[in-house]
Amino acid sequence: MADITKTALITGGTKGIGYGIAEVLINEGIKVAITSRSSVAAELAANQLNEIKAGYALGIGADVRDLASQQRVVDTILSQWGRLDYVIANAGVGHFASIQEMTPEQWHETIDINLTGVFYTAKATLALLKESEGYFITIASLAGTNFFEKGSAYNASKFGLVGFTQAIMLDLRSEGIKVTTIMPGSVATHFNNHEPNEQDAWKIQPEDIGQMVADLIRMNPRTLPSKIEVRPTRPGGR
Tell me: the pLDDT tens digits for 61-96?
A: 999 999 999 999 999 999 999 999 999 999 999 999
- Spell out the domains of the chain, with CATH numbers in brackets: 7-230 (3.40.50.720)
DSSP output for 12-79? T-SSHHHHHHHHHHHHTT-EEEEEES-HHHHHHHHHHHTTTSTT-EEEEE--TT-HHHHHHHHHHHHH
Average pLDDT, the chain: 93
Q: 1 pLDDT band (50/70/90 cuts)?
A: very low
d(CA 134, CA 64): 20
How do residues 97-154 score in pLDDT, each as one tens digit? 999 999 999 999 999 999 999 999 999 999 999 999 999 999 999 999 999 999 999 9
Which of 19, 56, 86, 154 is catalytic? The answer is 154
Q: Residue 166 burial (CB < 10 Å; 0-12/13-18/19+)? A: middle
Q: What pLDDT sits at residue 171?
A: 97
DSSP symbol at 205: P
Look up 56 and say whether it is catalytic. no
Q: What pLDDT sits at residue 3?
A: 60
Above pLDDT 70, what percent of the chain? 92
Residue 6 has pLDDT above 90, yes or no: yes
pTM to 2 decimals? 0.93
Q: What pLDDT sits at residue 188?
A: 78
* Average pLDDT for 25-53: 98
How do residues 175-195 score in pLDDT, each as one tens digit? 999 999 999 987 876 565 556
DSSP symbol at 161: H
* Average pLDDT for 190-208: 71
Q: What pLDDT sits at residue 201?
A: 77
Q: What pLDDT sits at residue 79?
A: 97
Q: What pLDDT sits at residue 224?
A: 96
Q: What pLDDT sits at residue 4?
A: 83
